[in-house]
Every structure is written in structure tokens, then in C-alpha cells.
Amino acid sequence: MPAQIFHSYGWPAIQAALDNPGYARDPSAQWARTFPKIPWGPASDDEVAAERRSLRALEEAVAQADSDPRAFQAVLACLETDPHPAVRHAAAWFLLSRVGEERSRQALRAAAIEDEDVQVRWVAWYAFRLAERQTSTDAAGPVPG
């Protein structure tokens, strides 16, 4: 039970503090990108089935994303429009491996700023920061040896 409480309340609070250190949350603030609210509590069978379908579609798109540009666009669409935070979170983790591509960076930048789910924002922020480091290292050129 304590681990579940920490996962539900403590970990999101830590991530939110890292996301916005030193400022209390403004209750009047609205995220620029919001999704239909999924109520707390047990999910209905329809909700569970919809999330499973979304995750399955994402898995198929991820498997084909390297060879099919439409599949890559489907992954981007999952990050940008899927109502299930778990699906957006998984899409952001996949895009972490594609941060070298401009379209990935744009989607991750938007998710890091606008997504209402703290875990999605954190993964997107992390991936975007890695992309910035990679870009600055590439621009600096080879290290003299």
C-alpha cells in the first residue's frame, strides 16, 4: 500500500517540482493541450479495451516506424492526440530514440510544455534535453585529441 501511495502522489509531486521548481501550482492554470478526462477509479470494460487498442496500434506503428514514414507519423499522432496518458508516455519514450529528427523534437517540445500529464511532460522534457545536448555536441565538432 505505501508503494502505491508514493507512486500515486509522491512521485508525481517530485516530478512536478522538477518540472516547475519553486512555484506553487496555480489552480486557474489550464494546460494548452488537454484530453477528455478519464475518471479515477476502476475503468469500465470499454475504457480498458480502448486503451489496449491504442497501445496495440502504437506497438505496430513503432515496429514499422523505421521503414514506413506513415507509421512514424502514427507514433507522432499518438503523442499529440491520444487521450490515454500511458499511450502518450510510451510514444514519448519511443521518440526518445529519434530525437535527431526535427519532427520528433517538435513533438517532444510541445509535449514537454503542453501535455497535462506530468509523466508525459517529464519524458518529453528529458528527450528534448538530450536532443539539445546532442545538437550542441555535434555543432562543436570533434574533440581535439
Residue 94 lies inside a defined structural domain of this protein: yes
Please report which confidence band the pLDDT of residue 31 belongs to, taking 50, 70 and 90 as the band edges.
low
Q: What global pTM score does this model have?
A: 0.65
pLDDT of residue 33: 58
Question: Can you give the residue range of the structural domain that contains 59?
Answer: 45-138
pLDDT at residue 143, rounded to an integer: 47
Residue 78 domain-assigned? yes
Residue 111 lies in a domain: yes
Q: State the pLDDT at residue 129.
A: 80
Which SS3 state, helix, strand or coil, does residue 144 take?
coil
**In this structure, what are the phi and psi dihedrals at residue 31, rounded to the nearest 5 degrees?**
-70, 145
Judge whether residue 57 has pLDDT over 50.
Answer: yes
Cell of 26: 496555480
Is residue 85 domain-resident?
yes
**Quick one: average pLDDT of 70-80?**
93
- Measured from the Cβ of residue 2, the count of other Cβ atoms closer than 10 Å reads 7
pLDDT of 39 above 80: no
Residue 21 lies in a domain: no
7 part of a folded domain: no
Number of domains in the chain: 1
* CB atoms near residue 98 (< 10 Å): 19
